[in-house]
Structure 1
């Protein structure tokens, strides 16, 4: 297990977001990225969560809507990683996975693509 305080972990998440391809992030609309310590149930199994309505399910979506959220959980990531490089890789994978949900790609397809 590696140790990163909340501020250092958030900097890693921002850094990994900046490294994502432009064509992946340019289409993100009305979405915020949030870092939390753990999921509400306190488990260490869930690394991230997309909380919103996928683009493929949006009918009339526009002004006044609360932003969708992608949540990255710090403690589960730290529990699964032993080095900063592993942590960066896992954060990257989590971001890609959750962004894919925004675009309407489900877990089954992500598994086929190697992102689950």
Structure 2
């Protein structure tokens, strides 16, 4: 049975997941905002089929930035989707674990680590 948590509680859970990121890694994150949403927008969903979208990194990852091409831009975005997570877990403990995994996954994309490389590393 899916878990039901309020948007406010989900924000707290995402905040807890961010607190789990090692300080030396968190200190290297640049110009990125972490947001929550109930579900992906049609634009965020575009081109993605199959499994539920749990999170999404949108922006220019750190390995592709240069002072010439990346200045005075809006922050990159990591969005964590509440309803997708709630549908696939049985309780709030499992929700916290799953959200922490998704947050770490999307932060890896911010650092330029691809899905293929994450698979090679055994991250999922």
TM-score, reference length from structure 1: 0.92
Match of 2:94 in 1: 86
User: Quick one: distance in 1 between partners of 2:25 and 2:89?
Assistant: 25
Match of 2:122 in 1: 114
User: Quick one: distance in 1 between partners of 2:60 and 2:84?
Assistant: 24
Return structure 1 stretches of 4+ with deviation > 6 angstroms: none
TM-score, reference length from structure 2: 0.86
Give CA deviations for 1:64-83 in whole Å, capped at 9, x if unaligned: 21000100000000001111
Q: 2:57 matched to 1:56?
A: no
Q: How many pairs are equivalent?
A: 115
Q: 2:70 matched to 1:69?
A: no
User: Quick one: distance in 1 between partners of 2:120 and 2:28?
Assistant: 23
Higher relative contact order, structure no. (Cα contacts within 8 Å, ≥ 6 residues apart): 2
Match of 1:45 in 2: 52
* Structure 1 unaligned blocks of 5 or more: none
Range with bigger deviation, 23-32 or 45-54: 23-32
SS of equivalent residue, structure 2 residue 86: helix
CA contact (8 A) 1:96 1:115 kept: no
